[in-house]
Amino acid sequence: MNVELISSSAVPKFERGVRLKHDRVRERHVVLGPEMLIELNQTGTAIMSEIDGQSNLSEIVHRLAERFEVNPQDINQDVSEFCTTMVMRRVLHT
């Protein structure tokens, strides 16, 4: 990515008018926003489910690492890039 990644102390929050939704007809999770429909894969769903508006990026990475029994360092880059992309698309803000 060319853009600067959000810092580990930043607290990602959903933008107003954007939300995570379980699409029961297609059995998947999606992000809904203004003229926006983003289909999430399993990883995306796991990350977005941890966005609670209070935890910082580092805490989110640690919780995901615990949940999937991996080393936090191994997923830090991917989670940071995912959240940064979501900020650029105005799904999240910090």
Partner 1 sequence: MNQVTTPAPQVLLAEVTHRCPLQCPYCSNPTELIKKDVELSTADWARVFEESAELGVLQVSISGGEPAARRDLTELIGAAHEADLYVNLITSGIGITKDRLNDLVGAGCDHIQLSLQDVDPDGAKLISNLNKSLERKLEFAKWVTDISVPLTVNAVMHRLNLDRLPETIKLAQELGARRLEIANVQYHGWAALNKNLLMPTQEQSDRTNQIVKEARESLEGQLLIDYVPVDHYAEYPKPCMNGWGRVALIVAPDGSVLPCHNATTLTHLAFPNVINHSLENVWYESDAFNAYRGDTWMHDICRTCDRKEIDFGGCRCQALSILGDASAADPVCSRAHPHALVIDDDTQVLELVEPDLITYRPNA
- The CA distance from 61 to 34, in Å, is 28
Q: Does 1 bind partner 1 (CB under 8 A)?
A: no
Task: Tell me which of 5, 8, 11, 33 binds partner 1, using CB under 8 A.
Answer: 33
Task: Tell me which of 7, 23, 77, 78 binds partner 1, using CB under 8 A.
Answer: 23
Q: Does 5 bind partner 1 (CB under 8 A)?
A: no
Q: Does 7 bind partner 1 (CB under 8 A)?
A: no
Q: Does 59 bind partner 1 (CB under 8 A)?
A: no
Q: Where are the beta strands (DSSP E) in the chain?
A: 13-14, 19-23, 28-33, 36-40, 92-93
The half-sphere exposure of 76 on its side-chain side, counting CA atoms within 13 A, is 12
